[in-house]
Structure 1
């Protein structure tokens, strides 16, 4: 098993795209949070999906609700799948840390992607979130349950994960004028995900 450069975890996903697409649950265990997001923003709004993967099931959920998706992923193979599945949406091959889309969105998602960034990169992302979100917009991301770094086996690839402390996430959100709506640690109904949903004030 190969430990890839933690700076570019998306390169490892290039090797396991088929495994990931098959293994990724499509049952929308995230629906509680996705429904909250939809209720909190204007109908038929815009979504910036950072680390969009193969587009299923998260991007598909929003497309089915009438939202317009701009999906970003560092994996070319994942973006190719997104383009094939949802050709009417915008799909961009890019490291999320390097985006500058010149547009603001109603929703920004960094679901099961943000935690692949190292701790310093995560801190810097909050300015990127703030730059790309509309007033009243919703930011949703998943983190680790506590501060630290881990590697885990995913389809034979060792993938890097990192997290800041809950207090630091709270401070970073507050500094960019986000109000935390939900912070759920290890939600058993959502695959033990630790979820943050915040609204730009």
Structure 2
């Protein structure tokens, strides 16, 4: 995972955090080693809950942020979905999980978000399948139309899309 540039995505996460209430609660799905997402949110002063399925990445996260809590489990099985949040972020995660699990995660995010809460995630704009360069895992994007359909079915509205300096494509939705 060291091949990932720690600066790419930080600006987008920072801008997203500015539409959230100060010091609100945020769930970081697939937090990995914590850079850039958790680090940026920590710097912004949010109450952050984190989950990642990789023991190795969770260990790296704990080494980097020894005072921060992180749960090691598959995101769809996270105990954090028993809480509510003002924001949920899934950077570099959605396309790594099978399409049926992507739908489950979106449903759980929608249930965990407070009214007006924001969900930001990355996945290619196109509906496409490929082998991820960082993880060597099969990756599947449902594309804008696929994600929009699932978001809408779960009470979320797609309110924005953008691409960052590393060509990561972002979907921003809000619970209505």
TM-score by length of 2: 0.91
Which position in structure 2 is the counterpart of 1:163?
Answer: 141
Which position in structure 1 is the counterpart of 2:5?
Answer: 25
**How far apart, in 1, do the equivalents of 2:146 and 2:36 lie?**
30
Higher-Rg structure is 1
Of the three residues 81, 105, 108, the one matched with 2:60 is 81
TM-score by length of 1: 0.80
Of the three residues 73, 98, 112, the one matched with 2:77 is 98
Greater helix percent: which structure? Answer: 1
Of the three residues 67, 71, 81, the one matched with 2:50 is 71
Deviates more, 1:63-72 or 1:123-132: 123-132
Of the three residues 124, 129, 139, the one matched with 1:149 is 129
Unpaired segments ≥5 residues, structure 2: none
Runs (4+) of structure 1 exceeding 6 A deviation are none
Cα distance, 1:40 vs structure 2:
1.7
**How far apart, in 1, do the equivalents of 2:18 and 2:174 lie?**
12
* Mapped pair 1:198 → 2:173: yes
Match of 2:51, SS?
Answer: strand
Cα distance, 1:143 vs structure 2:
1.1
**Aligned residues of 2:126 and 2:142 also touching (Cα < 8 A):** yes
**1:123-175: per-residue Cα shift (whole Å, max 9, x none)?**
22221111221111110001122213211333xx6222101131121121112
**Aligned-pair RMSD on alpha carbons?**
1.6
**How far apart, in 2, do the equivalents of 1:163 and 1:197 lie?**
15
**Aligned residues of 1:41 and 1:136 also touching (Cα < 8 A):** no
**How far apart, in 2, do the equivalents of 1:63 and 1:105 lie?**
16
Query: How many residue pairs align between the two structures?
Result: 175
**Aligned residues of 1:47 and 1:107 also touching (Cα < 8 A):** yes
